[in-house]
Amino acid sequence: MPDIPMVVADRVSKSFGSNEVLKSISLEVKRGEVMCLVGPSGSGKSTFLRCINHLEVVSSGRLSVDGELIGYREANHKLYEMRPKEAARQRRDIGMVFQRFNLFPHMTALQNVMEAPIRVKGLSRAGVEANARALLARVGLADRADYYPAHLSGGQQQRVAIARALAMEPKLMLFDEPTSALDPELVGEVLDVMQGLARDGMTMIVVTHEMGFAREVADSLVFMDGGVVVESGVPTEVLANPQHHRTQAFLSKVL
């Protein structure tokens, strides 16, 4: 079992109407691997991320997490669409962090972190609260537990969002441009938290424009453009010596 990669995408395509956003994407993410997805906007990287936890439904191809097909059940060589309940069960194990944080504004930081373990896993409040406080301490926000999101800075909100995702004890974390909505001076604190997660062995897929983070933290880097994987490899090599002209063109703009 441990040999199975955490994420396997096999010729995954996704269309919105006649607009094909993902064109036959194939890639693997191993356990404990940190993969950075980079590329110009509209290249399909966020859509691909959203397909992994079934926020978007793939049009063709197979996508599996931890050996389990996402969104469908396969029996007798036929695919059966999953019930919403089963899809929700799969999502429990996949944490997601959004560009716009999406914290619940009517709940305090602590309540945000406690919500899913209590409602989804049905755990007891006391245990969940202790764990939630530990998670907030882990992202450096123990003293902000009783603050509402509106009273936190962007960086603090995003760290609460990471703690909220971690509270479900996911086996995979997806980050959708986690620092893009932040003021420049707040980016560092969020990246620090993510780096710590990577060090602890979390499997992560990160859509980002932070090339420094990609170089230092990621195990692999995938460059996407126009819905296809243009180039992939070890971050330092891809960044230092891009092979494809589209990668070169993109990197010359962002580096």
Partner 1 sequence: MTNTAANGEKTEPGIKAIRLRHPWRNTFAVVLLLIVALFIADAAMRPAYDWPAVGKYLFDQRISQAAFVTLQLTVYSMIIAIILGVTLAIMRLSPNPVVNSIAWVYLWVFRGTPVYVQLVFWGLIGTIYQSIDMGLPFTEPLVSFPTRVALSAFVLAIIGLALNEAAYMAEIVRAGLLSVDSGQEEAATALGMSWFQTMVRVVVPQSMRVIIPPAGNEVISMLKTTSLVTAIPFTLELYTRSRDIAAVTFDTVPMLIVASIWYLFFTSILMVGQYFLEKRFARGIGDRRPDKKADDATASIAGAMTGVTPVVGSGQPTVVLPPTDPRADSPKGDR
Instruction: Give contact residues for partner 1 (rule: CB under 8 A).
Output: 53, 55, 84-85, 88-89, 91-92, 94-96, 98, 100, 102-108, 110, 115-116, 119-120, 130, 133-143, 145-151, 153, 155-156, 161, 164-165, 168, 185, 188-189, 192-193, 195-197, 199-200
- Residue placing its CB nearer to partner 1 in the complex, 119 or 253: 119
**Which position has the token pair 């050996």?**
67
- Residue placing its CB nearer to partner 1 in the complex, 152 or 229: 152
Q: How far is the CB of 180 from partner 1 (least distance, A)?
A: 14
C-alpha span between 7 and 69 (Å, rounded) = 10
**Which position has the token pair 């819905």?**
227
| Burial degree of 241 (CB within 10 A; 0-12, 13-18, 19+) | exposed
Q: How far is the CB of 25 from partner 1 (least distance, A)?
A: 20
Q: How far is the CB of 57 from partner 1 (least distance, A)?
A: 13
- Angle value at C-alpha 35, between 30 and 39, nearest 5 degrees: 145
b or e along 105-126 (b: 16 or more beta carbons within 10 Å of the residue's beta carbon)? Answer: eeebbbbbbbbbbbeeeeeeee
Q: How far is the CB of 101 from partner 1 (least distance, A)?
A: 8
C-alpha span between 226 and 224 (Å, rounded) = 7
- Residue placing its CB nearer to partner 1 in the complex, 12 or 103: 103
- How many helices, marked H, and strands, marked E, lie in the chain? 9, 12
- Residue placing its CB nearer to partner 1 in the complex, 29 or 165: 165
Q: How far is the CB of 45 from partner 1 (least distance, A)?
A: 17
The answer to whether 58 and 71 are in contact (CB under 8 A) is: yes
**Cα of 40 vs its chain's centroid, Å:** 18
- Residue placing its CB nearer to partner 1 in the complex, 89 or 244: 89
Residue 223, classed as helix, strand or coil, is strand
Q: How far is the CB of 190 from partner 1 (least distance, A)?
A: 9
Which segments within 177-227 are labelled E, that is strand?
203-207, 220-225
Q: How far is the CB of 226 from partner 1 (least distance, A)?
A: 25
C-alpha span between 234 and 220 (Å, rounded) = 5
- Residue placing its CB nearer to partner 1 in the complex, 23 or 115: 115
Look up residue 212 and give its two tokens. Answer: 């420094």
Nearest alpha carbon to residue 22 among 55, 53, 49: 49
DSSP label at residue 194: H
- Residue placing its CB nearer to partner 1 in the complex, 69 or 228: 69
